[in-house]
Structure 1
Amino acid sequence: MNATLIAVALSLVSAAAYAAAAVAQSRLAGRTEPSTGTLRLLGRGAWWSAVGLNAGGALLHVAALKYGPLTLVQPLGALTLVAAVPLGARAAGRRVSRTEWRGTVLTLLGLGALLLTSGGTAPHETLSLVEALGVGAATMAVVAGLSRPGTRPGLRHAAASGITSGVASALTQTLTVAVTDHTTGPLFSWRLLTVALLVSAFAMGGLLLSQTAYRGGLGAPLAVVTLANPVAAAAIGLALLGERLQGGAAGLVPALLGTAAAVRGVILLSRAQARPMAVTGEEAETAAGETVAGGAPVSGAPSRVVIGSPRQQDRQALTTEPRAVEPRAREPLTVRPSAS
């Protein structure tokens, strides 16, 4: 089978695993207080489920990096967004809004344009020890800047998560090529040990940063992660690993157009997530006419929520609603003089 097809197939399954992990992390973030520390997360089964899904996606991603270059494999991670946005909406019990669909489509179209400009040959170059250390230091500096206190912490943490994950992928490709292609140097060396430590640090850092980012919602942070990841990896691939865009300098035009479309998609998703509690008039009317846990819809019902079986609802109505009083009962008492 063609190496490019293998890389694409592995990337598709990896994206599905990452999407399920993102939804699990988002739900966990919604049930967790902002002050909850990392050690508290380690004691929750939902956290380890997300870690397992991320680990499965990462292993498939590593395998894909063996058969395809960074400029091919990384943009395919955009399929994570395709699966995660509707999955997250379904988990929240709502429909995907038009703004979210538009943002998702624009992001995918933009990353698709980047995908068309990527090369399709299997990777052969690896990072030297100096290059790996330089990439690691630059990444830590960028992440430190994005993690500082300020406005929009969710999107900034998402950007930091995407950058660290993209750098981890670039470093992982050095490991996979070095392990499977013995012409790049000795299998056990200080270079590969350093790269392995950097991969572990950035992979775990990206996971924790995304967990923090998802506290503000799923769509916008995931879109930022999806966009920052291939950009960071492609920058390393083009600058240090000898990868090239299709069409040479002319390939920059669709790449820039794709980047603009993807950024527009991220902005739309950001706006959609900025109003997560907004309720339209139609939704309010629908909610007012519905009951919870088995009650039948009541047209024009007030905002009172009825819970339980019909008999329990009748009992609740007796205890919560005032009884009707006959008009005569409200009239003041009169005293009639007795006939003498």
Structure 2
Amino acid sequence: MSDQYSDSELSLDVSPKPSRKKPMFPVGDALRDFLKHHGREVKLPVAYRDLQRFIYSVPLKDKEGRESLWETVVYDKREWDYIREGLVHIYAVLKTEGDLSFSKHLDVSRIDYCAFGNSQPFRIRIINKFNDNYDHYYIKIADASRIYGLELEHMLSPNRITFFTHNQTLVEEHIPGIPGDTFISNYLQRPDTNIIRLAKEFVKFNERCFVRLLGDMRSYNFVVDITPDIEDFQYRIRAIDFDQQSYEGRKNLYRPQFFKENLPLVEATLKYLNKESIEQYQSEERTMMTFRLVSARYRIKEILDIMGRDKISSPEKIAQLGQELSDFHGGKANLLKCHSMGQLVKEHLKVCLRKNLLLIPRFKGRFED
């Protein structure tokens, strides 16, 4: 393992805590133009502010009868017909590019609201009236930090993300999977769980969060997707919360291994993987991120240039993160010269992936500007 990753093996030092409340950052003109150019800005019939006009709510319980952080909201009959029709239309935009020919057998069965967290989302349950099959999507306040996080996830992770914006409204598809905290409680110790494969995926997830500076990946902010494979299962850990894209100043807040909520996964990883295996999986993930970067290099450069001019954190946090990353990578001076979180993300990608980029001759130097 190279010197710049000399302390990147998983650790039991679980101590960092994110800021109690992150501010929402408005979507600026440059980011709005980017969203329009790439088909993310779509005129929507229902806005976030429309959903805020519910008249009352009732607590929502989970399948075990325990109270959740969600509450089901109810609207006045005069509002409901307009909202219901608009939400079905939005679902068609998400799933069929706005083709409404399939919408006659769709309906809204429930709208849930969560006041916990920064985005305060509404969760829309769409049901097929013929067979009672249902799906979900989310409507949130459009926050620049979250949009940058979604775009970087779409381009740099193995997962594609569907989302749209319209003015101050953000619409996101549902990301399926078992919530990380539920997985740790109910699945981690099951005899059919392949702990070694899960540990390998946790190392890779930890690496890609750190390289692209996605923070606050505590267990309830990611899901575990289980796929049956030849004689066993494969695991994919997917982030579901992107509010903390490049906001905090502490380096370890971008490394899921340091959160106490993830401790059982860290312990399992240290138990079943040796140092050489961890280094191998880190290298594999950096290699795959490099391939994704070069395949979407123009779009990534465009979004990072916009992000570099945008304000999505405080000067104190930017300076702190630049210093901690520079120290971690052995005194990389360019990290100390960054004056925005966008510049830090771009420089950090260069530092982490430069070795891999140099192995691809036809892309050598293309990301240096």
Work out whether the TM-score is over 0.5: no
TM-score range, shorter chain: under 0.3
Normalized against structure 1, the TM-score is what?
0.26
Normalized against structure 2, the TM-score is what?
0.24
* Higher share of residues assigned strand: 2
Tell which has more relative contact order, 1 or 2 (C-alpha 8 A, sep 6+): 1
* Higher share of residues assigned helix: 1
